Amino acid sequence: MSGIEWNHIFDLPLAIESFPYILQGIGYTILISFGGMAFGLILGLLLALGRTSRLSIFRWPARIFISYMRGTPMLVFLFLLYFGLPNIGIQFTAVTAALIGFSLHSSAYMAEIIRSSLNSVDKGQWEAATALGLSYRQSLLSVILPQATRIAIPPLSNVLLDLIKASSLAAMITVPDLFQRAKIVGGREFDYMTVYILVGLIYWGICMLVEVWQNHLEKRSTYV
């Protein structure tokens, strides 16, 4: 411990000077994480319905897709989209590849959350909706989903938090997000410790805002 240069751990003037430049990448971070959450949520709902379908033509493709996405690292999938697909003539921009990758990857986790939330709703609710003459679609949208949403809010919020933190992986395919800009400053100033602590604090701040939003949604859904 005596060999540690404690005065080099965090350079406050450098952090203050670099903060505006690093913060310029927050738009990409929000786009990738929140965009991935939005598209992933839509696909996750479809996968969850397919996963619980009685028809094997829907059930098995959904199960295989979910298993593959949950069993492969996000970084490998991003590299496959950005560096692999051009070999067969398909090329995306870095941002598009990141958005597609995060959407598809997160949809597998959200599908399982949605599926378990739907299964948590008492089966009597389905029976009651059917007795009222509601179709499957009407029962799902008007009766089952609102109840399942209350159950799914906490775990889905955790997925969003993971997406925000994992969005830093997009820097590996040249997306100029928060982490990529921090790397640039660190390489230029030869002080990675300061900029990485700084960017970590920025990610923490974003996640705290999401936690506040999550708590608001949980309280609101309790009284609905």
Model pLDDT, residue 122: 82
Model pLDDT, residue 127: 78
* Mean pLDDT value across the chain: 90
CATH architecture under which domain 6-222 falls? Orthogonal Bundle (1.10)
Angle between helices 56-71 and 94-120 (to 10 degrees): 120
Return the H-helix or E-strand segment holding 75: helix 74-79
CA gap 135, 191 in Å, rounded: 62
pLDDT digits (tens, 9 = 90+) for 35-94: 999 999 999 999 999 998 888 999 999 999 999 999 999 999 999 999 999 999 999 999
pTM for the full model? 0.89
Cβ contacts of 212 within 8 Å, gap of 6 or more: none
- CB atoms near residue 107 (< 10 Å): 26
CA gap 163, 103 in Å, rounded: 10
Model pLDDT, residue 149: 85
Which of 17-31, 122-136, 146-160, 185-199 has the lowest average pLDDT? 122-136
